[in-house]
Every structure is written in C-alpha cells, then in structure tokens.
Structure 1
C-alpha cells in the first residue's frame, strides 16, 4: 500500500465486481452519475479507502465547499475519491469507485486501484458513462461498449469504427485491468444531443438494466423508467413548437430504425456532429 490511498476498512468479499464512475469526463444527461447513485442506494456501501486529494486533484479547479450559516463557518467538504464496498439483497458483492476524476498522477492512481482490486479479489470491472449521440429520444436507449476483450464488448454492442479519442481515467483503468488479466468493460449510454445538457433518466435506466444481468445484480429501475417517461413528454412538448426540430427528430428516428436492421452504423445524410451540436445548443438555450 502506497501513501496515495488510506484504508478505512478491509471487507471480506466473495468474487466482487468493481463498478467505476468518476466525475469530470463525459456524462451526457447525467446518466452515469444517476446510475451510480441508484446503485449506491441499493448496496448501502461502507467506506474501504480514500485517495489523497492533495496528490490527485487541482483544488482550484475542484474547490472544496464551505457551508456558512449566518456568517459562521459550519462545514468544509473536500472533493474525495472513494472506494466503497456493499452487498445486494441477493448477496452479490459490489465495490464502487467514485468521485472526481484525478487531475494528475494517473499512473500512480491506476496502479493503486488495480492493486487494491486485486487484493480484494475483483473478478470483473464495469465502467459507467454516457455520451451525446445523433439518436432520437423517441427510441429506447442503446449502449456502446469499450473493452480490451472483443467478445465482452460484443455482448453489449460497439460503434463499428476505428477512432482515436482523448481517454478518461476510466478508460485508462479499463485498459490497465485488461492488461492485468481482469475482464473490464465500459458501458456507454447514447443520449440524444438535444437532451445531453438535461437530466436524462432513460440513459441511467439503460445502463443499470444492462449492468444487472452482466454482473448478476438485481437493480429496480422502475422509478428511473417512470422519470424517463415524464422527461420524454417534456421533450415532446418542446420539439412540437418547431418544425425544424421535429424534422430533425424524424430524421434521427429514420437513421435509428435503419441501423437496427443493419450490421453496421449507417448515418447516411445526417447533419455533421458540429451542425447537430450547434443547432441543439441553440434549441436548449431558447426553449429550456
């Protein structure tokens, strides 16, 4: 154990799964964060370890929160990366790694997490994320996977393309666990561009609905699906006021439905990503 992590307890776990969600990287519609919060409520975790914020975080970018009551300082809350352990009602052991994505010392942080997970007997690692995509809110949320294991990624579905993108800390951890021989997969919800700046519970529900059977965890997502239905109606009302926006959604629906019947993604004559982003940002600013 290095001086980067502080142990608070050492649980005895039976073949735990590690679920990772670090703030600060892509999380369209707050889908991954909402999924993690729901999972935490399910397993009622206890603290296992915390990681040194002074070593990992830029506190000018991630400032502590000071609670002031009538001029009196009552509480100072520092951003914290936490490793927690819990068990579902069915007895499934779950480890949760959450908090802000490190601003520095990623090599040390990654090595520490992999070492702790190895000592705790982790058998699989799942990262949660969500990205804005040219998809309609009127269709079920689909996931895309990343993994060092092609067969594992194929169980979820992938974006059939060769791309190079900036990596988040979750991606670095995923790669490191793969090299260490531990199956690791990232679950990414595709959230409509025009809903990416709003809470999108359908994305969180989709992540948990797929996480459950993947790692043998029962998660009740009924409340998320109910919230998703309300959100969809609200978006319908916003879009109904603009023929251009309604036409865009119809085009996205057509592309989605065509893709469902094809082996690979076919975007056809959809607008470019920049065009979609610019149009939908204007939509959100004007209609939210």
Structure 2
C-alpha cells in the first residue's frame, strides 16, 4: 500500500459518478478548507448550506491524523459530570451531492491540513482523476476595510485565465501568506486539471461573526462557474436577518455608525476614482486607523454576541 493510498481512501464504486464519466459529462468539485480564508465564516457556512440541501454519501476520506496539528487546533469534546464523551473528531471528506436540478457534484470540505501540503495535493489529484472531476471550484473570504452597506466585492482566481468569469479588482502583484487551498490550485494546473475560485471581501469589523450574505454571494459564483443550480433562499433569509440586526445596532450606537459612514465615504470615493481613471485614494477621506476601528468595534461585536460570549470577552480583558 502506497503512502498516497494511506492518506486518502476513495470508494471503489460510485455508479452515479461512473455514469457521468462514461457519458463524458462535467463533474464539479467545490473546495472549502476551514482555518485560513474564512472571514465571517462565509465559506464554512456555504459548505454547510450545500450539505443541508443534499446530504449525500462520502466518496473519499482523508487520513486527518497525518494532516492535523491537534495541539494547535484542539477538537472539542464533552465532559459529562465524571467522564469524557462526544469527541468531535476532525473530518476531511469528499461528499457526493446533487443540485436542485439533480445534477451530481462533489464537495471537499474540512480543516485545512497543517502539514504535508504536497502530499495532500497529490491525494486530491488522485480523487480528481479517479472520480472524473473536470473542474475544482474553491471558495474563501478575507477581511477588508469595506462597509457592509455596499455590495460584496470578489477576487476571482484560476490556473487557466479562460476560466475567469469576473474581472479581478487587483492590479499588479501581491505577496500573501500561502494556503493549502491556493497551493492545490497551482498543482492541479501543473497536472492539467482545471481549478478556480473566489474570495469574498468581508467587512473587517464583521470578520469574527457569521456573515451569511458573503456565503450567499460565494455560492452564486459557484453556480456560475460550476453550471449548477443551488437554492439560496434560506441563506438569503439568514442574511436579511443579520443585516437587520446590524442596522439596529448602528442606529443605537452613533460612534460605531460614524466609523461605518467613514468607510462608506472612502468606498464611494474609491469607486468614483476607478470609474474616472484618477487616483484610487480619496485625498479628503482617509480611512479610520486600525486602532480607532478596533476601539469602536469592540463594543459593536459585544453587542451582537450572546451573553455568554460577552462574559468570555470580559474574562479575557481581566486576564
């Protein structure tokens, strides 16, 4: 048994996927790895929404013991009076799902590997080639200095420029921390497999809470890139409730509302400059400093969290 086979176990027979491959059809695999690119829990919430809609069978399982750093990310468990139980073991799996039209697709989700990234990429390659995946679509989200009252921007990326469905907002090159998900896209391209993805720009003051609107926006792009049909009505309802909650808090807290207004002015000035082809920075509307935003939104986040979370924050401050 090879090292690759020990790292991932793939179901030997999946009749529905075999039929797709034999017919020469497309099979999309959505990729969501927790732990890095997930501001506002947008990607994780999107993955959960997909499984809630169609909780299909597991067709591949990765050996998490070889990939996970348990001391850095300790799984939760339950202590019941006088004994331990309910260990939430991390799982990195590929599920077979169906969209609302009955089209099969795959979802690879779970914790981002803490080590053996190259081996993980080779294992995913085995999944792609064994199951006949024709395109991998990854999703993620990052915190940005943008207001929640403006449309969520996206950064598209792909290992083949012909796959891009939208224009990137970035110019030139950026040096950024790497991720297993990004490395996988590079490696799949080197091996001749299509891989692409989208990163949602989440308001940085909402990055630590669930932000379902970003999840919905990401899945809209998955629909387009993967030629799938996904029922987003429930997710959009969650997003409306969250927006109403945020709006109510801003109405009751003028100082926080002023910071959001400053971000709105900066955002609008940036958009005008882009349209006019002039400077991308507004000279008379500087962004609030990180220190200022941090002070204002400590109260903001505390107001949106539950009582238990607020107590936890208070304990941390005393420490």
For residues 52-131 of structure 1, what are the structure 2 equivalents within 5 Å? 52-131=63-142
Pick aligned residue for 2:207 from 196, 199, 202: 196
Name the residue aligned to 2:298.
Answer: 282
Name the residue aligned to 1:5.
Answer: 8
Please list the CA deviations of residues 72-126 of structure 1 after superposition, one character each: whole Å capped at 9, or x if unmatched.
Answer: 4444332121112222242322111111111111111111101221221111111
Pick aligned residue for 1:271 from 287, 304, 309: 287
Gaps of 5+ in 2: 21-25, 305-319
User: Structure 2 vs 1, CA of residues 27 and 173 (structure 1 numbering), >3 Å: closer, same or farther?
Assistant: same
1:193–1:277 Cα contact (<8 Å) kept: no
Per the TM alignment, residue 62 of structure 1 is displaced from its structure 2 partner at its CA by 3.0
Name the residue aligned to 1:147.
Answer: 158
Kindly name which structure, 1 or 2, has the bigger radius of gyration based on alpha carbons.
Answer: 2
Q: Find the residue that maps to 1:79 and give its secondary structure.
A: coil
1:137 and 2:140 matched: no
User: Structure 2 vs 1, CA of residues 126 and 276 (structure 1 numbering), >3 Å: closer, same or farther?
Assistant: farther
| Matches of 1:175 and 1:60, distance apart in 2 | 29
Q: Find the residue that maps to 1:77 and give its secondary structure.
A: coil
After alignment, is 101-110 or 250-259 more displaced? Answer: 250-259
Please list the CA deviations of residues 159-209 of structure 1 after superposition, one character each: whole Å capped at 9, or x if unmatched.
Answer: 334211101111111111122222211211111111111111110111112
Greater relative contact order: 1 or 2 (C-alpha under 8 angstroms, separation 6 or more)? Answer: 1
| Matches of 1:266 and 1:71, distance apart in 2 | 61
Structure with greater proportional helix content: 2
Name the residue aligned to 2:265.
Answer: 254
Per the TM alignment, residue 51 of structure 1 is displaced from its structure 2 partner at its CA by 1.3
| Matches of 2:296 and 2:48, distance apart in 1 | 28
Per the TM alignment, residue 25 of structure 1 is displaced from its structure 2 partner at its CA by 0.8
Pick aligned residue for 1:228 from 239, 264, 274: 239
User: Structure 2 vs 1, CA of residues 206 and 93 (structure 1 numbering), >3 Å: closer, same or farther?
Assistant: same
Structure with greater proportional strand content: 1
Pick aligned residue for 2:217 from 206, 222, 227: 206
- TM-score after normalising by structure 1: 0.89
After alignment, is 89-98 or 104-113 more displaced? Answer: 89-98
2:263–2:287 Cα contact (<8 Å) kept: no
Per the TM alignment, residue 9 of structure 1 is displaced from its structure 2 partner at its CA by 4.8
1:21–1:33 Cα contact (<8 Å) kept: yes
2:28–2:106 Cα contact (<8 Å) kept: yes
Name the residue aligned to 1:32.
Answer: 43
Q: Find the residue that maps to 1:184 and give its secondary structure.
A: strand
Per the TM alignment, residue 34 of structure 1 is displaced from its structure 2 partner at its CA by 0.6
1:63–1:78 Cα contact (<8 Å) kept: no
Q: Find the residue that maps to 2:41 and give its secondary structure.
A: helix
Gaps of 5+ in 1: none
1:184 and 2:198 matched: no
Q: Find the residue that maps to 2:5 and give its secondary structure.
A: coil
Please list the CA deviations of residues 251-277 of structure 1 after superposition, one character each: whole Å capped at 9, or x if unmatched.
Answer: 322333344452689343442774465
| Matches of 1:171 and 1:276, distance apart in 2 | 32
- TM-score after normalising by structure 2: 0.81
